[in-house]
A and B are shown apart, each in its own frame.
Chain A
Amino acid sequence: AQTVTQSQPEMSVQEAETVTLSCTYDTSESDYYLFWYKQPPSRQMILVIRQEAYKQQNATENRFSVNFQKAAKSFSLKISDSQLGDAAMYFCAYRRGQNFVFGPGTRLSVLP
Chain B
Amino acid sequence: EAGVAQSPRYKIIEKRQSVAFWCNPISGHATLYWYQQILGQGPKLLIQFQNNGVVDDSQLPKDRFSAERLKGVDSTLKIQPAKLEDSAVYLCASSLQANEKLFFGSGTQLSVL
How many B residues, CB 8 Å from partner? 25
Residue B45 at the chain A interface, CB threshold 8 Å:
yes
- Closest beta carbon of chain A to B16's beta carbon, Å: 26
Q: Do residues A100 and B42 form an inter-chain contact, with CB atoms below 8 A?
A: no
The distance in angstroms between the C-alpha atoms of A34 and B45, with both chains bound, is 17
Contacting chain A: which of B17-25, B62-70, B76-84, B102-110?
Answer: B102-110
Q: A interface, by DSSP: helix, strand, loop or mixed?
A: strand
The distance in angstroms between the C-alpha atoms of A43 and B108, with both chains bound, is 9
- Closest beta carbon of chain A to B69's beta carbon, Å: 15
The 8 A CB mask of A25-65 against B (1 = contact, 0 = none) is 00000000101010000111111001000000000000000
The chain A residues found within 8 Å of chain B, CB to CB, are: 4, 33, 35, 37, 42-47, 50, 91, 95, 97-105
